[in-house]
């Protein structure tokens, strides 16, 4: 094994931090709202240009006109399997009337960089780019090859981005055994002043359903039929379970705080929400599958007349291991009077918080924050990790940010006045630099790198599949918690 690359000098670290801030600001000024009118290609071209400036070859690939993603590889000093670093270029919409600043200005105010995507997740794009540029500029080599994937379409499920990469560019990802992306390694302050950095090791599965009914002889009012069906689906008491990732989180937090956090006692969960108010909305702390109605529509109808048809969509989220039982239960609850169609299914993913690579994530955080403590957790929403886990990678949410104590991290996702502290970007580049220099690969054992058992594959129904293009020119979803309101991108 070759010797570890030297650590960057203080001057180089400062240069990298400034580079991250400047590139994040530039990216925030590029509107990549995933609304069908602002494709990712301008941002992808910007990213490719920044890589090529320092001699790193970039592959820009489109799944459809304008829906561009970028792949690049930073060669390592050993023959260890590669590490994938992925971040998405698209954002959700922003209503400028609600913001204190122009959401596409990239303005610096109150020691923060403001704009749509500042947290979700152009910050990680910029930090990863800055560290890659630092390695290339100084002639340093990471311990292993680092593959960068800056992708389109995460906010709408990833078909035009991550799915395109794993189906059309699988050869460039084939040697990656681990992946890091959103959402994890952001700080939450514990009562004793130490900072907890949750590392995401799993996420719920996604099961979007459409139920519909039509008017006909002897059939009831379709509006009533659909309303009754979705009411049964949304209000049914779904089975509770404590996945391994959630158990590991509670065990770690009990150790760090000296409190007995037992998932069988509701008071423990209430205590946890009070203990970590800026984190709790993101963790699957209810230990149950969820089904939330999102859209209800009918055919055009005049007053005094019945609609010819009605339909509604359900955003379903299920715990690891619950895919088949969740689908069966939803069909039973919908009943025989409605037609049920699965619009999108992707599996729950979960990996074990162990091994050399997971340890390297912890050590890299401590290299920049000596008081850092960590805990693995299960995300209540979904990310592009589902697509990469399907290739056998062990996927982690790891986009490091050291945040001020009262900073509402969860509220930044798809929220008004989204912003990221400048100091957090500097911290993130330092952690990623250390990780790239030191992180070994952990050989997966058994099925710990696979999607959790469930329906066969993370693919949408044919009706929602995007057109595939083979020409090559060069990653939140709504966590359908019926009691919560944290949004992580879903249309």
Whether the per-residue pLDDT at 301 is higher than 90: the answer is no
Whether the per-residue pLDDT at 17 is higher than 90: the answer is yes
Q: What's the start-to-end Cα distance of the chain, in Å?
A: 47
Instruction: Sort residue 343 into left (φ over 0), alpha (ψ -120 to 50) or beta.
Output: alpha
Whether the per-residue pLDDT at 384 is higher than 90: the answer is yes
List the structure tokens of 206. 């996604």
Whether the per-residue pLDDT at 476 is higher than 70: the answer is no
Tens digits of per-residue pLDDT, 31-45?
Answer: 999 999 999 999 999
Q: Which has more pLDDT, 454 or 242? A: 242
Q: Which has more pLDDT, 488 or 74? A: 74
**Overall average pLDDT of the 11-27 stretch:** 97
Specify the range with the lowest mean pLDDT, choosing from 80-94, 158-172, 209-223.
Answer: 209-223
Between the alpha carbon of residue 116 and those of residues 33, 57, 98, 257, 454, the distances in Å are 9, 28, 12, 35, 35
Q: Is 302 exposed, middle or buried (0-12, 13-18, 19+ CB in 10 A)?
A: exposed
**What sign does the CA torsion over 197, 198, 201, 202 have?**
negative
pLDDT for position 471 = 29
**Overall average pLDDT of the 381-403 stretch:** 95
Whether the per-residue pLDDT at 396 is higher than 70: the answer is yes
CA distance 160 to 165: 9
10-28 and 422-438 helices, crossing angle to 10°:
120
List the structure tokens of 6. 């030297």
Polymer length of the chain: 491
Tens digits of per-residue pLDDT, 225-267?
Answer: 999 999 999 999 998 888 889 889 999 999 998 888 887 777 7
How would you classify the pairing of strands 372-379 and 112-114?
unpaired
Element (H, E) at 133: helix 122-138
How would you classify the pairing of strands 176-181 and 394-397?
parallel
CB-CB contact of 109 with 404 (8 Å)? no
The per-residue pLDDT of the chain, averaged, comes to 87
CB neighbourhood size of 225 (10 A)? 21
**Cα angle 404-409-412, degrees, rounded to a multiple of 5:** 125
Whether the per-residue pLDDT at 153 is higher than 50: the answer is yes
Whether the per-residue pLDDT at 299 is higher than 50: the answer is yes
Element (H, E) at 226: helix 222-235
List the structure tokens of 219. 């059939």
For 419, half-sphere exposure in the C-beta direction (CA atoms, 13 angstrom radius) is 22
Q: Which has more pLDDT, 16 or 261? A: 16
Tens digits of per-residue pLDDT, 63-74?
Answer: 999 999 999 999
Place of tokens 């209800």: 296
List the structure tokens of 281. 């909305």
pLDDT for position 264 = 78
pLDDT for position 412 = 93
**Overall average pLDDT of the 375-395 stretch:** 93
pLDDT for position 481 = 29
List the structure tokens of 209. 């359903």
Whether the per-residue pLDDT at 141 is higher than 90: the answer is yes
Whether the per-residue pLDDT at 343 is higher than 90: the answer is yes
Residue from 395, 396, 391, 418 nearest 407 by CA: 418
Whether the per-residue pLDDT at 457 is higher than 60: the answer is no
Give the domains, in start order, of the chain with CATH numbers.
Answer: 10-202+348-464 (3.40.630.10), 205-243+284-346 (3.30.70.360)
Assign 490 a pLDDT band (cuts: 50, 70, 90). very low
């Amino acid at each position: 094994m070759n010797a570890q690359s030297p650590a960057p000098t203080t001057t180089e670290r400062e240069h990298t931090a400034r580079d991250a801030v400047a590139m994040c600001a530039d990216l925030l000024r590029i509107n990549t709202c995933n609304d069908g009118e602002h494709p990712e290609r301008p941002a992808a071209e910007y990213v490719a240009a920044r890589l090529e400036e320092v001699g790193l070859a970039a592959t820009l690939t489109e799944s459809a006109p304008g829906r561009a993603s970028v792949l690049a590889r930073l060669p390592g000093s050993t023959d260890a399997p590669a590490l994938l670093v992925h971040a998405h270029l698209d954002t959700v919409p922003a209503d400028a009337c609600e913001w204190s600043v122009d959401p596409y200005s990239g303005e610096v105010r109150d020691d923060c960089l403001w704009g749509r995507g500042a947290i979700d997740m152009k910050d990680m794009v910029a930090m990863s780019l800055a560290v890659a540029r630092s390695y290339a500029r100084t002639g340093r080599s990471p311990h292993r090859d680092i593959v960068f994937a800056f992708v389109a379409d995460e906010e709408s499920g990833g078909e035009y981005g991550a799915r395109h990469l794993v189906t059309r560019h699988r050869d460039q990802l084939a040697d990656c055994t681990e992946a890091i992306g959103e959402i994890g390694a952001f700080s939450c302050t514990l009562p004793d002043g130490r900072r907890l950095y949750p590392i995401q090791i799993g996420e719920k599965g996604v099961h979007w359903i459409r139920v519909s009914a039509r008017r006909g002889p002897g059939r009831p009012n379709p509006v009533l039929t659909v309303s009754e069906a979705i009411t049964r689906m949304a209000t049914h008491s779904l089975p509770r379970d404590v996945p391994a990732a959630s158990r590991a989180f509670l065990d770690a937090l009990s150790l760090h705080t000296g409190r007995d956090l037992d998932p069988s006692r509701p008071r423990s969960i209430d205590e946890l929400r009070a203990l970590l108010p800026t984190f709790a909305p993101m963790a699957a702390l209810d230990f149950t599958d969820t089904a939330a109605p999102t859209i209800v529509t009918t055919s055009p109808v005049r007053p005094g007349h019945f609609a010819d048809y009605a339909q509604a969509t359900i955003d379903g989220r299920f715990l690891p291991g619950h895919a088949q039982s969740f689908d069966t239960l939803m069909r039973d609850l919908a009943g025989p009077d409605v037609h049920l169609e699965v619009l999108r299914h992707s599996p729950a993913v979960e990996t074990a918080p162990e091994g050399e690579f997971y340890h390297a994530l912890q050590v890299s955080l401590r290299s920049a924050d000596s008081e850092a403590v960590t805990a693995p957790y299960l995300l209540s929403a979904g990310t592009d990790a589902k697509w990469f886990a399907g290739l056998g990678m062990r996927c982690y949410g790891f986009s490091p940010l050291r945040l001020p104590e009262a900073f509402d991290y969860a509220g930044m996702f798809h929220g008004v006045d989204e912003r990221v502290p400048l100091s957090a970007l500097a911290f993130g580049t330092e952690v990623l630099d250390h990780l790239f220099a030191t992180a070994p690969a952990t050989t997966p054992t058994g099925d710990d790198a696979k999607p959790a058992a469930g329906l066969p594959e993370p693919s949408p129904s044919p009706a929602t599949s995007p057109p595939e293009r083979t020409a090559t020119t060069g990653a939140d979803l709504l966590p359908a918690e019926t009691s919560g309101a944290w949004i992580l991108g879903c249309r």
